[in-house]
A and B are shown apart, each in its own frame.
Chain A
Amino acid sequence: MVTVRALCVAAVLALFSGAVAAQTPSLEELKKPAPNPAWNKFGVRGYETVELAPGLYTFGNGGARNIFLVTSDGVIATDPVSPAFAKEMRAAIRKVTNQPVKYVVYSHQHWDHVLGGKIFKDEGAVFISHEKCVEHFKDLPNADLVMPDFTFSNNYRLTLGGRTLDMLYFGKNHGDCLVVMRPDPGRIFFMPDLVTAGGLVGGTMNDYSLHNMVRTLKELEAMDFDYLVGGHGVPLAHKSAVNERRRYLEALMAAVKEALDQGKSFDEIHKSVRLKEFDYMRNYKEFIERNVYRTRVYWEMGW
């Protein structure tokens, strides 16, 4: 009896893990251009480290994600996310290398990316952010935040152990201090929150400047690279996810503007403006009405 029950449990576990494995796309699948069904099946999994290129890793749990670069002279880490996340991340880095973490680079100011740096500060890491983040950090203090030791005003290249990490600034888009990171040799970009591959923007488009987001994405599309890592979601995506996101935002802005110009009421706009050509994207059903609402307010306020 005991044996049978144990077998049943084992069978269920096997089925379950089999189902999870089936939902976990391979890196090769993730590299395919948009629209890419592999991006849309993605669910939150446990913490995992994926080597994307020699020395370049992404670490995350689906809910949040970052990159780290291992060099012969230490590690360059990025967004520590939270104390719990940073602890897991520190352990994950140690599995790959004994090198100390020498730098932590913040992508932008939001707490869901930058908290938890203490564990790296304690080992002597230097913290870096765009200078405009500092004002936000001072404005809304958070005990779990390590303040940057070093800031820069436009673009910045960090060099360590013969490797480089470029921080590229595009002005206002998601907040006003976000940098896209370009580790050498420059084929994979880390662009937290500018693009989460395969999904809609979170409902109310938090801290988004729509017009500047489209401009930034266009500037990124014009640059030469192959793949991107987002701040949430899949470990890697084809560059075409930038184009997909940009086309989605442009279609959204145009559809809402057209409805406003037709004199439709706000309620009517919120309930009727839909983008059928993008309904394959993750979270479409959940977020489209709030995206429309947010965009209507953009056309009203310029915010």
Chain B
Amino acid sequence: MRNRVTTELAPGLYTFGSFGARSIFVVGDDAVIATDPVSPAFAQDMRAAIRTITDKPVKYVVYSHQHWDHVSGGKVFKDEGATFISHENCVAHFKADPNPDVVMPDRTVKGGETVKIKGKTLKLMYFGRNHGDCMLVMQLQGSDVLYVNDLVTPYSLGLGFMPDYNPKEWVRTLREIEARPDWQRMVGGHGIPFGARDAVTQRRKFLEQLMAAVRPEFDKGRSADDIAATIELPEFKDVRGYKEQIARAAERIYHYYEMGW
């Protein structure tokens, strides 16, 4: 199982995966709601893991967003008849960048909807553009756990060049998530099984401080490489990935101020 393990977070709510990739699933009385299948190999392992908990079928697969490293491999669930759900904006991406391992969604949502199985309701929330433009945040109703996927890898800086993140909208989204009082723990799409509220705050503060540090240097006319070579954010130097990622993170923010991207 390549170190992929199942962790129960609340009654009927599980996270499955390893540090490399992570997903959640919800077990009800009559069926299962799975989320990101990640890859054919991951999905196969996840299917087996679900079977050790329940013999009920996987009725729904909900995609968090459009990136292949989260949505590939759904076929094993499609074959047992699952209905695939994503935010409506994901469809254009699936069409523009086709991948044979991605099962197209059967149903699209705008955010604010729920997915119901007997005894369990999964809430789907949409915060607009942040990491791509079709990211759904999920919460099992009645639980204190948010599935935020790539919005936060708990206590880790993630990839410095911030693939498909819009820094400003990302900060806005994290602030909106922090303002919600109805959760205490979060699950990311990579990393350790879960984090607490401070993982979201740490991520948001890192971005804000990084932007505040790069902006005046950008305004002085310094180059991206020059800024990247000297940037320091001492408050975060012990966070996982700081040493490897800080230069690229500064370069990414430079390009944000340069291009509005």
Is A175's CB within 8 Å of the partner chain B?
yes
Say which residue of A142, A172, A300 sits within 8 Å of B260 (CB atoms): A142
Interface size class of B (residues with CB under 8 A): 20 to 34
Other contacts beyond A204-B252, A207-B259, A211-B97: 19, CB < 8 A:
A110-B261, A139-B129, A140-B166, A142-B260, A204-B161, A204-B251, A204-B255, A206-B259, A211-B96, A212-B96, A294-B161, A297-B159, A302-B67, A302-B102, A303-B67, A303-B97, A303-B132, A303-B163, A303-B164
Any A CB within 8 A of the CB of B169: yes
**Counting CB contacts under 8 A, is B182 at the interface?**
no
Give the chain A neighbours of B259 by CB distance below 8 A: 110-112, 206-207
**CB of A209 within 8 A of chain B?**
yes
Residues of A near B159 (CB, < 8 A) are: 297
Can you list, as one digit per residue, whether each of B144-183 has a CB less than 8 Å from chain A (1) or not (0)?
0000000000000001010110101100000000000000
- State which of A209, A294, A297, A300 has its C-beta within 8 Å of the C-beta of B97: A209
Q: Which of A207, A209, A294, A297 contacts B261 (CB 8 A)?
A: A207
A204-B161, A206-B255 as given contacts; A175 in contact with B68, CB under 8 Å: no
In the complex, which residues of chain A have a beta carbon less than 8 angstroms from the beta carbon of B97?
A: 209, 211-212, 302-303
Task: Give the Cβ gap from B91 to chain A, nearest Cβ, in Å.
Answer: 13
With A and B bound together, what is the CA distance between A109 and B164 in angstroms? 16
Question: Which 5 residue pairs spanning A and B have beta carbons closest together?
Answer: A302-B68, A111-B260, A110-B259, A301-B67, A302-B97
Chain A nearest CB from B146 CB (Å) reads 22
Chain B residues lying within 8 Å of A211, measured Cβ to Cβ, are 96-97
In the complex, whether B99 has a CB less than 8 A from a CB of chain A is yes
Do A301 and B164 have beta carbons less than 8 Å apart? yes
A111 touching B93 in the complex, CB below 8 Å, given contacts A204-B252, A301-B163:
no
Chain A interface (Cβ within 8 Å of chain B)?
109-112, 136, 139-140, 142, 171-172, 175, 203-204, 206-207, 209, 211-212, 293-294, 297, 300-303
Chain B residues in 8 Å Cβ range of A111: 258-260
Residue on A with the closest CB to B159?
A297
A112 to B68, CA, bound (A): 30
- Asked whether, in the complex, the Cβ of A136 is within 8 Å of the Cβ of B163, the reply is no
Q: For residue B163, which residue of chain A has the nearest CB?
A: A297
Most buried by A among B68, B93, B129, B260: B260
Smallest Cβ distance from B223 to chain A, in angstroms? 11
- Inter-chain contact B68/A300, CB cutoff 8 Å: yes
Alpha-carbon separation in the docked complex, A274 to B102 (Å): 30
Bound: A44/B69 CA distance, A: 40
- Closest Cβ–Cβ distance, residue A199 to chain B (whole Å): 16
Q: Which B residues touch A139, using CB under 8 A?
A: 129, 166, 169
CB distance from B205 to the nearest CB of A (A): 21
B66 within 8 A of A: yes
CB contacts (< 8 Å) of B166 on chain A: these are 139-140
CA distance A136 to B133 in the complex (A): 12
Which of B132, B159, B168, B259: most chain A CB closer than 10 A?
B259
Q: Nearest-CB distance from B235 to chain A (Å)?
A: 25
Partner of A209, one of B96, B251, B255: B96
Distance, CA A139 to CA B169, complexed state (A):
8
Distance, CA A136 to CA B251, complexed state (A): 21
Least CB distance from A66 to B in Å reads 16
